[in-house]
């Protein structure tokens, strides 16, 4: 359960309950938000909206926050995104991480900034919530070559002030999907929309067969046999023949797709320094209904322009 907290952990104002999905277990719960009362006086932290703001509907294609549990948000948001187009572009790059279920508070934390609930005054996420999400999710991000971004540095958020919190039991603990130790880039649902999200978030995409998988310096090194570029990105055509992929930090975690190398794969990734990192892998299965849907969408994917939010 998420709530707006005041100093000492006491909830302030009238609580408005709205339904939302808990990421870690995929079931409905409730988030509690404060509705400010006129007799509360000045906001304790002295924070007011820096620019004229408006309360707008959260659109269905703002996938990061459309299911957060409330249907309206403030613009500009708390990251100073002034237009809905900018919010969508920035927020979309976080959707693949949200799908990894690295912490039950990920959606609440991110949406408190990207799509803040409509209140009289801005309310930021609690510092401890930021730290809990960061500590659980940054190790997952590192599999994809990312680190926790400067724009979400936790020490900028309130510690002893009114703030957005998670009140579910053990909300500060690392939460993982039950029973999973799979390398995060290999832990993918065969759903057409999820595959498109990975395609959009990746710099390159390949149809390929694999000759060999080795371990090297804590990574899995993947040596292609045949490869066809679906999206070249930073890869030059002349370098395709010598291409080697790396599953970052993946030497000791299972990637079940790599148990059988006797078929084609859809592999997506991004370049980090001199390495090409694998960020998603699927069996190339034209008999699968969801994969067939993806192949149709792949011809003209509706991708936002991804900014460098993680740098």
Stretch(es) of the chain classified as CATH 1.10.2000.10: 2-37+54-166
- Give residue 128's pLDDT: 94
76: confidence class by pLDDT, cuts 50, 70, 90: very high
CATH of domain 2-37+54-166: 1.10.2000.10
Stretch(es) of the chain classified as CATH 2.40.50.120: 184-298
Q: Assign residue 209 a region (left: φ > 0; alpha: ψ between -120 and 50; beta: otherwise).
A: beta
| pLDDT(180) > 50 | no
Q: Which CATH number fits domain 184-298: 1.10.260.40, 2.40.50.120, 3.40.50.10540, 3.40.50.300?
A: 2.40.50.120
- Pull the structure tokens for residue 182: 């799979």
- Pull the structure tokens for residue 88: 């969508």
Mean pLDDT of 246-254: 93
* CA–CA separation, 301 and 192 (whole Å): 11
Contact 279, 202 (CB under 8 A): yes
- Pull the structure tokens for residue 83: 């237009």
- Give residue 299's pLDDT: 78
Q: What is the pTM of this model?
A: 0.69
- Give residue 41's pLDDT: 32
6: confidence class by pLDDT, cuts 50, 70, 90: low
Q: What is the pLDDT of residues 80-128, one digit of tens each?
A: 999 999 999 889 889 888 888 899 999 999 999 999 999 988 999 999 9
Task: For the chain, give the percent of residues with pLDDT over 90.
Answer: 55
- Whole-number Cα distances in Å, 299 to 290, 292, 293, 303: 15, 12, 11, 12
Q: Point out the least confidently predicted range of 13-17, 132-136, 205-209.
A: 13-17
Nearest to 248 by CA among 113, 142, 119: 142
Backbone angles phi, psi at 138, to 5 degrees: -60, -40
298: confidence class by pLDDT, cuts 50, 70, 90: confident
- Give residue 181's pLDDT: 76
Sign of the dihedral through C-alpha 23, 25, 27, 29: negative
- SS3 labels along the chain: CEEEECHHHCECCEEEEEEEECCCCCCEEEEEEEECCHHHCCCCCCCCCCCCCEEEECCCCCCCCCCCCCCEEEECCCCCCCCHHHHHHHHHCCHHHHCCCCCCCHHHHHHHHHCCECCCCCCCECHHHHHHHHHHHHHHHHHCCCCCCHHHCHHHCCCCCCEEEECCCCCCCCCCCCCCCCCHHHCCCCCHHHHHHHHHHCCEEEEEEEEEEEEECCEEEEEEEEEEEEECCCCCHHHHHHCCEEECCCCCCCCHHHHCCCCCEEEEEEEECCEEEEEEEEECCCCCHHHHHHHHHHCCCCCCCCCCCCC
| pLDDT(12) > 70 | no
């Amino acid at each position: 359960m998420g709530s707006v907290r005041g100093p000492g952990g006491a909830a302030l104002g009238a609580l408005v309950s709205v339904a939302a999905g808990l990421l870690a277990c995929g079931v409905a719960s409730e988030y509690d938000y404060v509705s400010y009362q006129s007799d509360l006086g000045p906001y304790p932290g002295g924070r007011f909206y820096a620019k004229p703001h408006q309360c707008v509907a959260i659109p269905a294609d703002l996938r990061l926050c459309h299911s957060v549990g409330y249907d309206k948000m403030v613009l500009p948001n708390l990251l100073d995104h002034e237009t809905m187009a900018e919010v969508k572009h920035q927020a979309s790059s976080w959707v693949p991480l949200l799908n990894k279920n690295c912490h039950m508070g990920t959606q609440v934390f991110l949406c408190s900034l990207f799509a803040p609930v409509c209140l009289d005054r801005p309310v930021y996420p609690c510092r401890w919530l930021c730290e809990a999400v960061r500590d659980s999710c940054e190790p997952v991000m590192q599999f994809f070559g990312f680190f926790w971004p400067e724009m979400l540095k936790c020490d900028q958020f309130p510690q002893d002030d009114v703030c957005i919190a998670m009140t579910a039991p053990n909300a500060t603990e690392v939460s993982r999907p039950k029973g999973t130790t799979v390398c995060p880039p290999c832990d993918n649902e065969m759903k057409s929309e999820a595959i498109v999200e990975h395609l959009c978030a990746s710099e390159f995409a390949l149809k390929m067969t694999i000759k060999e998988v080795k371990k090297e310096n804590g990574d899995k090194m993947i040596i292609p046999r045949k490869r066809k570029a679906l999206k070249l990105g930073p890869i030059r055509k002349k370098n395709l023949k010598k291409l080697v992929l790396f599953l970052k930090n993946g030497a000791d975690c299972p990637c079940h797709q790599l148990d059988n190398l006797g078929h084609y794969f859809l592999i997506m990734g991004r370049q980090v320094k001199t390495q090409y990192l694998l960020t998603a892998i699927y069996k190339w299965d034209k008999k699968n209904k969801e994969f067939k849907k993806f192949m149709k969408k792949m011809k003209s994917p509706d991708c936002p322009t991804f900014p460098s939010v993680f740098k």
